[in-house]
């Protein structure tokens, strides 16, 4: 689709399956059970919806999914399903890895940056996008480099160290313009320096939410925060501000993990909120 002067494509890296309790956190099962069916392992499906942006001569990829480096054990752990991955789908849009100028990671959890790298000829991980600069918030980088017991299983060095080793890393310190129409905006809560990507062109606006609101319910109902959020109360306040802005400016919301829709507009229905899906 086009948003003013900007070209946008939601590009899939496949689908994963996540424990329902991990996704819904403290929300009682009686509230979320009618929303979606579980599999036999009590998991819910999670889209891996990355974003391709073409703006001001720049080809930009936002998040890279789980990628192709997982072992059979890791694929089972993540419930990863993909007949074709991100790179295959990018090629379908006539974008080769060497065509990408910038990779933006909303954060460095494995399901958002696993496709940053691939195994090279010698079996070592190398950047998937050989010409790209990888943009990451400085505080997020620090948290990934020095994880704790809770985060060490999802901050995997092979996903984010190779760009640094090859001089392709750019660390950001807060909100940062990418082009005249694209901007990285810090949206804390899921991680301390999680960032979303705002696209604004010719009076139209969109935001790629990342894990600020992985499903539409997470923005419709502020209290619905996944168990993986490191600062759920911060997440609620960030979403409150984003939700009000989205209503006031009719912002297109782009969802990274929702398996039922990838984009929609927020509407108020009395005291409740609802995302109306659109086809991209």
| Of 147, 165, 163, the residue nearest 155 (C-alpha) | 147
Nearest-angstrom CA–CA distance, 187 and 175: 9
Nearest-angstrom CA–CA distance, 6 and 8: 6
Give residue-wise pLDDT tens across range 197-253: 999 999 999 999 999 999 999 999 999 999 999 999 999 999 999 999 999 999 999
pLDDT at 82: 85
Whole-number mean pLDDT of the chain?
Answer: 97
pLDDT at 83: 80
The CATH class, in words, for 2-277 is alpha beta
Domain ranges of the chain: 2-277
pLDDT at 279: 84
67: left (phi over 0), alpha (psi -120 to 50) or beta: left
Query: 38: which DSSP letter?
Result: -
Residues 6+ apart with CB under 8 A from 19: 42, 43
13-28 burial code (b ≥16 CB/10 A, e <16):
bbbbbbebeebbbebe
Q: State which residues of the chain have pLDDT below 70.
A: none
| Of 169, 148, 157, the residue nearest 110 (C-alpha) | 157
- Chain Cα centroid distance, residue 277: 18
| Of 100, 105, 43, 117, the residue nearest 76 (C-alpha) | 43
Contact indicator for 132, 168 with CB cutoff of 8 Å: yes
Q: Would you call 74 exposed, middle or buried from its count of C-beta atoms within 10 A (0-12, 13-18, 19+)?
A: middle
How many CA atoms, within 13 angstroms, populate the side-chain half-sphere of residue 1?
17
Nearest-angstrom CA–CA distance, 179 and 199: 9
- Chain Cα centroid distance, residue 280: 17
């Amino acid at each position: 689709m086009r948003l003013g002067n900007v070209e946008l494509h939601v590009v899939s890296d496949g689908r994963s399956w996540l424990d329902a309790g991990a996704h819904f956190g403290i929300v009682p099962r009686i509230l979320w059970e009618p929303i979606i069916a579980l599999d036999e392992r009590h998991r819910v499906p999670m889209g891996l919806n990355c974003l391709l942006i073409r703006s001001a001569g720049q080809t930009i990829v936002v998040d890279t999914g789980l990628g192709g480096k997982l072992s059979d054990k890791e694929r089972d752990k993540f419930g990863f399903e993909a007949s074709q991955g991100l790179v295959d789908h990018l090629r379908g849009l006539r974008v080769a890895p060497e065509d990408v100028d910038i990779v933006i990671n909303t954060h460095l959890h494995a399901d958002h940056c696993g496709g940053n790298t691939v195994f090279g000829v010698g079996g070592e991980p190398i950047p998937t996008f050989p010409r790209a600069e990888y943009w990451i918030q400085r505080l997020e980088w620090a948290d990934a480099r020095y994880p704790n017991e809770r985060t060490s299983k999802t901050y995997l060095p092979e996903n984010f160290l190779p760009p640094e080793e090859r001089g392709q890393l750019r660390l950001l310190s807060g909100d940062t313009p990418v082009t005249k129409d694209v901007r990285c905006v810090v949206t804390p809560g899921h991680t301390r320096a999680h960032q979303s990507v705002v696209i604004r062109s010719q009076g139209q606006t969109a935001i790629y939410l990342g894990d600020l609101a992985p499903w539409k319910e997470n923005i419709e109902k502020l209290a619905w925060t996944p168990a993986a959020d490191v600062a759920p109360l911060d997440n609620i306040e960030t979403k409150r501000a984003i939700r009000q802005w989205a209503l006031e400016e009719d912002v297109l919301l782009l969802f990274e993990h929702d398996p039922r829709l990838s984009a929609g507009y927020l509407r108020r229905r009395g005291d409740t909120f609802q995302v109306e899906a659109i086809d991209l």
